[in-house]
Structure 1
């Protein structure tokens, strides 16, 4: 059984509007002017603690001040938990792609640096909760991506023996490399660098193309399937 494991933010969903909204509300409480949505988007990818550190640096506060960091993180999370999926939306053709992959016999999972509870709520609120056999978040383990442990945990929780990781960013690429798994890059997400500078096995701009790409990666080659090539001891 092959698992297709997805990142969440910038891969399955455009979550920036809700993250930006929570950040703006938190900043207003603390007497700071809002940051633009493009600025907040550039901070996404390494989890909430890293997001708060980048916001603090941007507004002239010391990210190393643990007590202050905790206050801002708690404020952000209070607002974000209250409304994590009001403005967020799946990218075009995501739902159809997930249904087609499940019908083709793939097992689906999510591995994200977003807190697991919020990730599950977003998936449920957007009607995708039943699509995934496993969801691993940034707080599910003691480490987060790009450490490979969360990705391995998602594959194990999904009950799969082989896997391909689908993501949108440098962090996702690093995670797949660390896990020794193929990586498929969604090019319309939150990456910071040009596509050519991000290691990947395949890339796509629209989810209508994903199934064909995955099947190509798993095609038999010289009498051996690529599925065997992506098998890992998990």
Structure 2
């Protein structure tokens, strides 16, 4: 039976507005100027610790472990309290996931976002039940692009082809390191031209994904 594993941020959901809001609530606590949404989008992809590192760098702050922990913990408090209000599914995602599930595909998630808010976001859209496995950025001691999280997600499935779907440089590198076919969603948070990233398929709308996955599973 074929399985498909998805990234979350920038792939299934546009979560940047909620991340942006939580970061700016964190900064407002110390009367610091807010970040712009494009800035925050450029920081997303490598997990919360790196997100906070990039925030500190953008503000000209020196690397400091205590300061990093303080910002990290306060950000997570705000984000965990409200991770889904401003987050939206990309067009066609729900129909695609439900169609794949009805057709017998096994579905998983592998994201650098912590598992708690990842599950809450999927649940807020009524989609969590479709996912046989959810691997978050805090599920293992390493994060993507290390292939271990993706391999852990793939190990949850019975024998059969396993494919990965993501939107970013991190996802492309993770799939390549794990040796899995990769379908690149072009409308997410990627900064590099799509053709410069390793991939086996490209798509800009989820209506096109089921047919692409069927082709990849047969190849």
Mapping for residues 101-120 of structure 1, pairs under 5 Å:
101-120=100-119
CA contact (8 A) 2:161 2:217 kept: no
1:203 is matched with which residue? 202
Task: State the distance in 2 between where 1:10 and 1:104 align.
Answer: 25
CA contact (8 A) 1:155 1:161 kept: no
Task: State the distance in 2 between where 1:146 and 1:18 align.
Answer: 23
Flag structure 1 segments of 5+ consecutive residues without an equivalent: 220-225, 227-234
Task: State the distance in 2 between where 1:93 and 1:13 align.
Answer: 11
Task: State the distance in 1 between where 2:30 and 2:192 align.
Answer: 32
Count of residues in Structure 1 that have an aligned counterpart in Structure 2: 219
Task: State the distance in 2 between where 1:152 and 1:3 align.
Answer: 13
User: What is the TM-score of this pair, normalised by structure 1?
Assistant: 0.91
2:131 is matched with which residue? 132
Task: State the distance in 2 between where 1:168 and 1:60 align.
Answer: 29
CA contact (8 A) 2:23 2:75 kept: yes
Mapping for residues 172-211 of structure 1, pairs under 5 Å:
172-211=171-210
Task: State the distance in 2 between where 1:23 and 1:160 align.
Answer: 41
Task: State the distance in 1 between where 2:68 and 2:31 align.
Answer: 15
Aligned-CA RMSD value: 0.9
1:232 is matched with which residue? none
1:145 is matched with which residue? 144
Deviations 1:1-44 (A, max 9, x none): 22100000000000011000000000111221001001100100
1:42 is matched with which residue? 42
Deviations 1:110-147 (A, max 9, x none): 00000011111111112111110000000000111001
1:157 match: secondary structure: coil
Task: State the distance in 1 between where 2:98 and 2:86 align.
Answer: 23
1:68 match: secondary structure: helix
By how many angstroms is 1:152 displaced?
0.8
CA contact (8 A) 2:163 2:217 kept: no
By how many angstroms is 1:61 displaced?
0.8
By how many angstroms is 1:101 displaced?
0.7
- 1:123 and 2:122 are equivalent in the alignment: yes
1:229 is matched with which residue? none
Larger radius of gyration: 1
